[in-house]
Amino acid sequence: MDIALSLLVLTVIALVLGAVALMRRGGYRKQVVLMLVLAGVMIANIAIWTLPDREGRSLSSETKRLK
């Protein structure tokens, strides 16, 4: 699970940097918006898996506990 979350974070960074690079070139507005939307969805997924609830448990910690 840790590897998947790490890859998600790295992908978000790559998408944002790629969107910035495309925005500087110009003419790729649709792709830039789509890349930023995808990065936002990935950030939401990371938050869902890692942020703890009121009891202090997160989905990733529960997955580790079940192993």
Q: What digits encode the pLDDT tens for the residues 10-50?
A: 999 999 999 999 999 988 899 999 999 999 999 999 999 99
Give a yes or no: residue 5 inside a domain.
no
Structure confidence at residue 62 (pLDDT): 78
| Cα distance between residue 67 and residue 51, in whole Å | 20
pLDDT at 63 over 90: no
Per the structure, the count of domains in the chain is: 1
3-state secondary structure the chain: CHHHHHHHHHHHHHHHHHHHHHHHHCCCHHHHHHHHHHHHHHHHHHHHHHCCCCCCCCHHHHHHHHC
Domain that holds residue 36: 13-66
